[in-house]
Chain A
Amino acid sequence: MKKLLLLILASLLFVGCSATPTPSESKKVLRVAFGGDVLSLDSTVATDGVSFEVLTAFTEGLVEYDENDATLPGSGAAESWDVSDDGLEYVFHLKKDAVWSNGDPVTAKDFVFAWRRLVDPALANEYSLMAQNAKLVNADAVIAGTLPVDQLGVVAVDDFTLKVSLESPVPWFIPLMTFPSFFPMNEKFVTAAGANYATGPDFLLSNSAFVLTSWVQGSQIVLAKNDKYYDADKVAIDGIEISIIADPQTVKLQYDQGNLDVAAMSGDLVTSYVGTADFVPIRKGYTWFMPFNQKSKNAAVLNENFRLALAWAFDRDFIVDEKLNDGSIVADGFVPRGLASSVDGVDFRDAAPKYFGYDAKKALAYWEAAKAELGVTKVTFELLVGTPGDDSGLAAGAPEYIKAEVEKNLPGVTVEIKTVLKKERLDLMKPARAEYDVALTRWGPDYADPLTYLQDLLVTGSNYNYNNWSDATYDAMVQDVAPGGVLSTDPDARWAKLVEIEAYALNTAIVVPLWQTGSAMVIKPNVKGIEYHVLGMTNYKRATID
């Protein structure tokens, strides 16, 4: 028996030593870890960040962000563009030397085909909403099925000229074109692939710096340098190897062992890298905030002084530094930093004041005023939060910290934390149900303009008005700066008005901004030039490995 045991152990060791993989040192392949799998590589079907990142690595849209977050002519498939004076018509002139990985030229028809596919009601694509955001002519009617897809406001004038018509001027239209839903598709190829389209390397084409060579679901995605790319001589790496690893501990072991070049770290695992050359904090555009449901039966939530008391009662710096510690920053306002700049290049956050902070005395004063107005001495409210881990980006322990501080600084207030899955949280919060008092939620920008927060979340009747707030003055102010509004063609006046609009909302503390998400990346010091963007996808084109 002992012999058998020895035999088993010996055979294990033998297998262990037999096939040692030989890492290919000659090829410069960037090894990246992702926490989740790609959900779809069909750019009209994809809706999630991971899919968008991979799609962006092998597909080039009309424009791309550069390292300074600018979207300049020539950065993508469009060499240049003309905009009509009323801002309703964009004519894109495409690069003539761009080809797909099968050799076909990239033409204006590829964009028309893809965009029509995006809004086709028969395909029911979730992100057809991007065509609505872009205000493409007839987008609503086509999606609803009342007009045929060829009535969408996009036409190919010739092979290299794309004409886009809008229903109202959209000041952020060009940056919006970086979004993967607007990527081109080769009609002939897509039609030939049929139901197999986007299911693997054989059923996908590339028109960018990399081409997909392998995709093992749930495990690995491999991209190689695309030699047919018009700028191939400027691409310094030979490929990207993406490993899908869900467990953060395993990611850390893989990175420390030198099997990864780039990985995102979270929570306690970040600590060991802070201060090293590997640690790279990245800023993202998500703002976490506290909405106050105005349909709530809890009178305190409707009271402005009570909301202000909460806004000043806890330390957001503590959450960012102690609970998150991943490059997140305190949200000084509702509109995140790095989202939008004025014509002079001033970030919105630098143009607007800072809102709220930690001041126990101030909080107590507001609470006293609220008690007098409400005629009560005690208030209990529900704080609806998602499950940490499932509700990605929610700082573990933040709800408990807020509860403890609020109850300490505002005697008589009781916070009841209600934890549910994220999908359930969103369901409870949606205006049709509105079954909550106060929540912790986040919002990611859809376009590079403050309105993606100030309009979509706070205007009466918006689908995402989780506050169920309705204020005629506020709505009127937003109307003026919205596409087609009186100020929509006067950028300076519009900018000043946007600052005023944010102030109007935050002075009533209808929402309390908490933090702007960051992501702590670890990147091997010999890797340079990966570009992370607040709004756009990661760009690996200019990455180098020394």
Chain B
Amino acid sequence: MFKYITRRMFWSIVTLFTILILLFLLLQFLPGTPFNDEKLSETSKALLNAKYGLDQPFFSRFGIYMKNILTEFDFGISLSIQRNWMVKNIVLPRLGISIRIGLQALALGTSMGIVLGVLSASKKNTWVDTLATLIAIIGVSIPSYVFALLLSYVFGFRIPIFSIIFNFNDPIKSSILPTIALSMFVMAQVTRFLRTELIEVLGSDYIRLVEAKGVSKFKVIYRHGLRNALISVITILGPLTVTLLTGSLVVEKVYAVPGIGSLLVNGILTNDYNVIVMIAFVYSALYITMNLFVDILYGIIDPRIRVAKGA
């Protein structure tokens, strides 16, 4: 197991740096410059490019950048979003908010998804199943922008129990609507996967044996059925984190959450290369970590996977 994890971590790091190189290369093709003011003279542009090192050749810039990241965890200074600020001082405070809302959404979405999935599988072909499936379909098909606006209109404006925008002084309560909005897609996916898997598991021979032994239906589902069915849910948790990251771009805008989603969009629009690189780095790192985590979780849930890979 240890050897397996070490090997996986090594490849994760290699992947991460490959992404950085590709990203650095792609940014060369981003139209415009951070100094987009049409009223800027050529002398001033040259001065600015020199000051921020943009006049250097590609490889030397990449080298300096890598060295600073590796030795000092320094992602450089912002070129336009908050000019002259250390990028990490801009990104890190916002990252906390985005990750928190993301994790809340993941936890809420997964647990609601499990509840709905179990309900619909155990009451297959009843009105409970239809309702749960309907919720899941709605969750997958409604764009998060529409759902987020609808939530803030209903529970922020018509029935004002929650605040319409994220409020720093009340981060728990004001993050509830964004969390729900973001969790919809997760919930829907988990419900759909779990339902299919659980129905299959519940129809298998060993479950029928357990049932024949007279074990209660509750125990059959939780002790014997769910544990097997959950593996399929864990498989999709990795890809789901990505949808959470992209979904947060929209949800953060609607609820005015000062997270990194909006920062990334601004970074791209204003050519703030250093901000783009750091956020992309963080996104990639999160995704890779999540996948690693999922792989380890397999082992814990299903001993067969652990044994096979450990060998």
Residues on A lying within 8 angstroms of B by beta carbon are 1, 4-5, 8, 12-13, 15-19, 21, 37, 39-40, 42, 45, 47, 121-124, 126, 128-129, 132, 143-145, 195, 199, 216-220, 243-247, 249-250, 253-254, 256-257, 259, 390, 420-424, 426-427, 430, 446, 463-464
Closest to A2 in B: B119
Compute how far the CA of A256 lies from the CA of B81 in the bound complex, rounded to whole angstroms: 30
Residue-by-residue, is B160-203 near A (CB-CB < 8 Å gives 1, otherwise 0)?
Answer: 11111111111011001000000000000000000000000000
Compute how far the CA of A376 lies from the CA of B157 in the bound complex, rounded to whole angstroms: 60
Structural contact, B44 and A464, CB atoms closer than 8 A: no
Structural contact, A143 and B173, CB atoms closer than 8 A: no
* Any A CB within 8 A of the CB of B236: no
Closest to B94 in A: A218
Closest to B268 in A: A421
Structural contact, A250 and B165, CB atoms closer than 8 A: yes
Closest to A444 in B: B39
Distance to closest chain A CB from B183 (angstroms): 11
Main SS at interface, chain B: loop
Distance to closest chain A CB from B45 (angstroms): 9
Compute how far the CA of A16 lies from the CA of B161 in the bound complex, rounded to whole angstroms: 6
Structural contact, A1 and B152, CB atoms closer than 8 A: no
Distance to closest chain A CB from B118 (angstroms): 6
Distance to closest chain A CB from B235 (angstroms): 23
Compute how far the CA of A421 lies from the CA of B31 in the bound complex, rounded to whole angstroms: 9
List 8 additional contacts besides A247-B253, A250-B149; criterion CB under 8 Å.
A40-B84, A124-B50, A144-B43, A217-B82, A250-B164, A250-B256, A253-B164, A427-B31
Compute how far the CA of A123 lies from the CA of B170 in the bound complex, rounded to whole angstroms: 39
Structural contact, A129 and B258, CB atoms closer than 8 A: no
Compute how far the CA of A463 lies from the CA of B37 in the bound complex, rounded to whole angstroms: 12
Contact flag A39-B80 (CB < 8 Å), given A129-B41, A217-B94, A426-B36: yes
* Any A CB within 8 A of the CB of B83: yes
Structural contact, A423 and B82, CB atoms closer than 8 A: no
* Any A CB within 8 A of the CB of B305: no
Q: Return chain B residues, CB-CB under 8 Å to A132.
A: 41
Structural contact, B44 and A40, CB atoms closer than 8 A: no
Contact flag A218-B263 (CB < 8 Å), given A8-B111, A143-B43: yes
Structural contact, B256 and A219, CB atoms closer than 8 A: yes
Residue-by-residue, is B74-90 near A (CB-CB < 8 Å gives 1, otherwise 0)?
Answer: 00000011111100011
Contact flag A220-B168 (CB < 8 Å), given A39-B83, A245-B256, A247-B256: yes
Select which of A8, A40, A216, A427 is within 8 A of B258 by beta carbon. A216
Select which of A246, A424, A464 is within 8 A of B38 by beta carbon. A464
Can you identify 20 A-B contacts, CB atoms within 8 angstroms? Answer: A19-B173, A39-B83, A45-B84, A126-B44, A129-B39, A132-B41, A143-B43, A216-B258, A217-B90, A219-B166, A244-B256, A246-B256, A247-B254, A249-B149, A250-B152, A250-B164, A257-B164, A421-B269, A427-B32, A464-B38
Contact flag A129-B36 (CB < 8 Å), given A219-B256, A247-B253, A253-B164: no
Q: Return chain A residues, CB-CB under 8 Å to B118.
A: 1
* Any A CB within 8 A of the CB of B3: no
Structural contact, B36 and A254, CB atoms closer than 8 A: no
Contact flag A199-B85 (CB < 8 Å), given A218-B258, A220-B168, A247-B253: yes
Structural contact, B119 and A1, CB atoms closer than 8 A: yes
Structural contact, A257 and B258, CB atoms closer than 8 A: no
Select which of A45, A128, A427 is within 8 A of B44 by beta carbon. A128
* Any A CB within 8 A of the CB of B271: yes
Structural contact, B38 and A40, CB atoms closer than 8 A: no
Distance to closest chain A CB from B59 (angstroms): 24
Closest to B173 in A: A19
Distance to closest chain A CB from B198 (angstroms): 13
A-B CB proximity, top 7 nearest:
A218-B258, A423-B32, A219-B258, A124-B51, A124-B47, A245-B256, A424-B31
Structural contact, B31 and A423, CB atoms closer than 8 A: yes
* Any A CB within 8 A of the CB of B48: yes
Residues on B lying within 8 angstroms of A by beta carbon are 31-33, 35-44, 47-48, 50-52, 80-85, 89-90, 93-94, 111-112, 115, 118-119, 149, 152-153, 156-157, 160-170, 172-173, 176, 253-259, 262-263, 266, 269, 271
Structural contact, A129 and B40, CB atoms closer than 8 A: yes
Distance to closest chain A CB from B27 (angstroms): 14
Compute how far the CA of A219 lies from the CA of B169 in the bound complex, rounded to whole angstroms: 11
Structural contact, B43 and A243, CB atoms closer than 8 A: no
Distance to closest chain A CB from B197 (angstroms): 17
Select which of B36, B47, B112 is within 8 A of A121 by beta carbon. B47
Compute how far the CA of A21 lies from the CA of B167 in the bound complex, rounded to whole angstroms: 10
Q: Return chain A residues, CB-CB under 8 Å to B52.
A: 124
Compute how far the CA of A18 lies from the CA of B161 in the bound complex, rounded to whole angstroms: 10
Structural contact, A390 and B269, CB atoms closer than 8 A: yes
Compute how far the CA of A1 lies from the CA of B132 in the bound complex, rounded to whole angstroms: 14
Closest to B119 in A: A1
Structural contact, B262 and A39, CB atoms closer than 8 A: no
Distance to closest chain B CB from A507 (angstroms): 26
Q: Return chain B residues, CB-CB under 8 Å to A250.
A: 149, 152, 164-165, 254-256
Structural contact, B176 and A15, CB atoms closer than 8 A: yes
Compute how far the CA of A123 lies from the CA of B42 in the bound complex, rounded to whole angstroms: 16
Structural contact, B115 and A4, CB atoms closer than 8 A: yes
Select which of A122, A126, A422 is within 8 A of B40 by beta carbon. A126
Select which of A5, A37, A143, A253 is within 8 A of B157 by beta carbon. A253
Q: Return chain A residues, CB-CB under 8 Å to B50.
A: 124
Structural contact, B157 and A256, CB atoms closer than 8 A: yes
Distance to closest chain B CB from A282 (angstroms): 23
Structural contact, B168 and A216, CB atoms closer than 8 A: yes
Contact flag A15-B173 (CB < 8 Å), given A218-B263, A219-B166, A257-B160: yes
Compute how far the CA of A219 lies from the CA of B161 in the bound complex, rounded to whole angstroms: 21
Structural contact, B81 and A39, CB atoms closer than 8 A: yes
Structural contact, A421 and B32, CB atoms closer than 8 A: yes
Q: Return chain A residues, CB-CB under 8 Å to B169.
A: 21
Compute how far the CA of A478 lies from the CA of B93 in the bound complex, rounded to whole angstroms: 52
Compute how far the CA of A382 lies from the CA of B223 in the bound complex, rounded to whole angstroms: 68
Distance to closest chain B CB from A264 (angstroms): 15
Compute how far the CA of A40 lies from the CA of B85 in the bound complex, rounded to whole angstroms: 9
Q: Return chain B residues, CB-CB under 8 Å to A47.
A: 37
Compute how far the CA of A18 lies from the CA of B162 in the bound complex, rounded to whole angstroms: 11
Distance to closest chain A CB from B310 (angstroms): 34
Distance to closest chain A CB from B222 (angstroms): 9
Compute how far the CA of A244 lies from the CA of B162 in the bound complex, rounded to whole angstroms: 18
Select which of B152, B170, B254, B269 is within 8 A of A21 by beta carbon. B170
Q: Return chain A residues, CB-CB under 8 Å to B172.
A: 15, 19
Distance to closest chain B CB from A425 (angstroms): 10
Compute how far the CA of A19 lies from the CA of B172 in the bound complex, rounded to whole angstroms: 9
Closest to A427 in B: B32
Closest to B272 in A: A39
Compute how far the CA of A47 lies from the CA of B83 in the bound complex, rounded to whole angstroms: 10
Q: Return chain B residues, CB-CB under 8 Å to A245.
A: 165, 256
Q: Return chain B residues, CB-CB under 8 Å to A37.
A: 81, 266
Q: Return chain A residues, CB-CB under 8 Å to B164.
A: 250, 253-254, 257, 259
Distance to closest chain A CB from B177 (angstroms): 10
Closest to B50 in A: A124
Structural contact, A16 and B44, CB atoms closer than 8 A: no
Distance to closest chain B CB from A218 (angstroms): 3
Compute how far the CA of A421 lies from the CA of B30 in the bound complex, rounded to whole angstroms: 11
Compute how far the CA of A21 lies from the CA of B169 in the bound complex, rounded to whole angstroms: 9
Contact flag A246-B83 (CB < 8 Å), given A8-B112, A254-B165: no
Q: Return chain A residues, CB-CB under 8 Å to B85.
A: 199
Q: Return chain B residues, CB-CB under 8 Å to A420.
A: 31
Distance to closest chain B CB from A261 (angstroms): 15
Most buried by A among B42, B47, B160: B47
Structural contact, B44 and A124, CB atoms closer than 8 A: yes
Compute how far the CA of A217 lies from the CA of B44 in the bound complex, rounded to whole angstroms: 28
